[in-house]
Structures are given as C-alpha cells and as structure tokens.
C-alpha cells in the first residue's frame, strides 16, 4: 500500500505570512495531484505534477515534485483568508484511476 504523509497536520497563520506544506512517501509515484477542499464542498483539483523536479506556479501557490518522485511540496506566498481550507495531495495507486490521498493539512489564515 502506497502511503502519503502530509505535514504539518494543522497550520494557523496570519494573513501575509508564507507557508509550506509537505507530502512524503516511501513509494515512487508516476504523478502527484494537489487538491483544496473548503467546508461544505468537495475537493477541487489545483495542479498535477508529473516530472521529477518539476515546479509549477499557480498565482501565489508554488508546487514542486521531488526529483525521485516520492515527495511534493506546496508553498503559499502571502497567504490570504481565501486560502483557508483542507489541502490534500494524492497519487495514482492500485490501477483503474484509483487515487491514494494524503493525510491532509488543515490551513487557517486569519486577518
């Protein structure tokens, strides 16, 4: 079973601060996805990283895939209250388009 461990589990910061969320595994993944989930909604796909060492930017969010494709990180610059939510990494496993989801990082950004 491929596991994805995220850290930190909880993060409470002030508006304007920077933060990094980590997603680690002992297994190699062909790709990794990041989702954000807001209360009362389903997870929404943010990005997919495919190539080892790849860096993708989505406005203030920067995603990186580790060189060995066993880990990924999400960095948020100048966090805003709208960034509040549950962040989940996920990777393909078991075939048939099934995903293994990470343990999750609950982020709260306060004014």
Say how far apart CA 82 and CA 63 lie, in whole Å.
18
Contact 81, 16 (CB under 8 A): no
Per CB under 8 A, 92 contacts another protein: yes
User: Taking contact as CB under 8 A, which single stretch among the options 13-21, 58-66, 67-75, 85-93 is the one that binds another protein?
Assistant: 85-93
Say how far apart CA 93 and CA 95 lie, in whole Å.
5
At closest approach, how far in Å is the CB of 7 from another protein?
13
| CA separation, residue 32 to residues 11, 79, 94 (Å) | 22, 23, 14
Closest to 48 (Cα-Cα) out of 28, 76, 26, 72: 72
At closest approach, how far in Å is the CB of 20 from another protein?
19
* Cα-trace Rg, the chain: 13
Pick one of 41, 51, 68, 77: the residue that binds another protein (CB under 8 A): 41
Per CB under 8 A, 33 contacts another protein: yes
Per CB under 8 A, 103 contacts another protein: yes
**Site for another protein, rule CB under 8 A:** 30-31, 33, 40-45, 48, 50, 86, 88, 90, 92, 96-99, 101-104, 106
């Amino acid at each position: 079973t491929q596991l994805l461990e995220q850290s930190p589990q909880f993060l409470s910061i002030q508006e304007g601060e920077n933060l990094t969320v980590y997603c680690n595994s002992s297994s190699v993944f062909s790709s990794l996805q990041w989702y954000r989930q807001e209360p009362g909604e389903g997870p929404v796909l943010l990005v997919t990283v495919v190539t080892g060492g790849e860096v993708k930017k989505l406005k203030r969010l920067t995603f990186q895939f580790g060189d060995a494709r066993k880990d990924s990180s999400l960095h948020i610059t100048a966090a805003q209250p709208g960034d509040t939510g549950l962040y989940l990494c996920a990777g393909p496993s078991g075939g048939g388009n099934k995903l293994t989801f990470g343990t999750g990082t609950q982020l709260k950004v306060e004014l």
